Amino acid sequence: MLDNLEITRVAESRIGSVDFENLGFGNLFSDHMFSMRYEGGAWREPRILPYGPISIDPANATLQYAQSVFEGLKAFRGVDGKVRVFRPDMNLARMRTSCERICIPPPDEAMFMGAIEHLVALDQAFIPSKRGQALYIRPIVFSDEGHLEVRPSTRYRFLVMTGPVRAYFDASMAAVALKVEERQTRAAPGGVGFAKTGGNYAASLRPGESARAEGYAQVLWLDGVEHRYVEEVGAMNIFFRIDDTVVTPALQGTILPGVTRDSVLTLLRDRGIEVEERRIALDEIVEASRRGRLREAFGAGTAAIIAPVGRIACRGEELVVANGESGTLTRELYEAITGIQRGEVEDRHGWNRLIDIG
């Protein structure tokens, strides 16, 4: 596993300039990054280098045609001082699936896990320890070839960067407001909605900005064919609690298969709570809300873990969920997942990968 890894350390660490009390999201990076190149049909040259700019050909196919894939996962410093990465095997599997869809040679387990283990151990000083804070890990893979012809590239780059990120919520867990986007869509059947590829996010920017201008934090996407069925929210999967059943849209190719989504479903089943993965018509949510049966709603994704939804704007009206606050099951799931990640709650499913920090 990465026998020929070469490590070039920074001359001076930036750790002294990190304000752990005021972290943001994705604006601060650890000292080092991991890099590999794909050339001549194989991934080669594993390197750890100082984090910094890279040079690419201006005709780079990623810049022209968006041949790129990314992942997002987190490392946590537990209450016992141990460092855990949450379910990296799921991120590797998803990155491989995303790569296959857009003709990128997928990274293998040795390089993906090796990169994370070496990088997290080397930059362990950047892992925050407060509840909710984490070291965000961002692996990317993209074309590293300059050509203007539309075809798969022959050269690629795999990079992994990390950086400390804030807790998304304070103890009050304020609920977010969503706006249903009834016209523009992010994914269509047969497209790349299930892949974590850059183009999907470019497509989501305009509707996202419109929602924010109207005071909503995120867009609630509907399906790309009939604009009738709920799909996901921003970069999170969506869950609704109707009476005592939790429903979430089934994975049918247009929805990103979230690691947090899978974790939520597992924890709900563990608790004996009824869950359904199926198509959910927006009409059904509106009707459930009218009848007082829509008890909770929340988004699930690595960044926020669990984000309570307090209001949903659609068709000129606004549905208020759980009095605009965080529901009890929503809060319980947040506590359960963050508890496992911090080593406070038994990891019954073997989700945590312990990092040897020497």
In this structure, the chain runs to a length of 358
Single-letter code of the amino acid located at 68: S
Question: Under the criterion CB under 6 A, does residue 72 sit at the interface with ligand PLP?
Answer: yes
Q: Which of 311, 338, 334, 337 is nearest to 324 (CA)?
A: 311
Single-letter code of the amino acid located at 108: D
Residues 299-328 that bind ligand PLP (CB under 6 A): 300-302
Question: Under the criterion CB under 6 A, does residue 259 sit at the interface with ligand PLP?
Answer: yes
Q: Which of 135, 137, 128, 169 is nearest to 304 (CA)?
A: 169
Residue with Cβ nearer ligand PLP (118 or 196): 196
Contacting residue, 236, 288, 297, 314, with ligand PLP by CB under 6 A: 236
Residue with Cβ nearer ligand PLP (144 or 232): 232
Helix axes 259-270, 328-341, angle to 10 degrees: 110
Nearest-5° Cα angle at 270, 265 to 276: 40
Q: Using CB atoms within 10 A of its CB, is residue 12 exposed (0-12), middle (13-18) or buried (19+)? A: exposed
Size of the site for ligand PLP (CB under 6 A): 14
Question: Under the criterion CB under 6 A, does residue 137 sit at the interface with ligand PLP?
Answer: no
Question: Under the criterion CB under 6 A, does residue 114 sit at the interface with ligand PLP?
Answer: no
The piece of 97-105, 150-158, 160-168, 259-267 that touches ligand PLP (CB under 6 A) is 259-267
Least distance from C-beta 260 to ligand PLP, angstroms? 3
Beta bridge partners of 161: 138
| Euclidean distance between CA atoms 234 and 201, whole angstroms | 9
Question: Under the criterion CB under 6 A, does residue 268 sit at the interface with ligand PLP?
Answer: no
User: 114: part of which helix (H) or strand (E)?
Assistant: helix 109-122
The piece of 265-273, 295-303, 322-330, 344-352 that touches ligand PLP (CB under 6 A) is 295-303
In 3-state terms, what secondary structure has residue 335? helix
Residue with Cβ nearer ligand PLP (38 or 194): 194
Question: Under the criterion CB under 6 A, does residue 207 sit at the interface with ligand PLP?
Answer: no
Residues 172-201 that bind ligand PLP (CB under 6 A): 196
- Residue numbers at the binding site for ligand PLP (CB under 6 A): 72, 196, 232, 235-237, 256, 258-261, 300-302
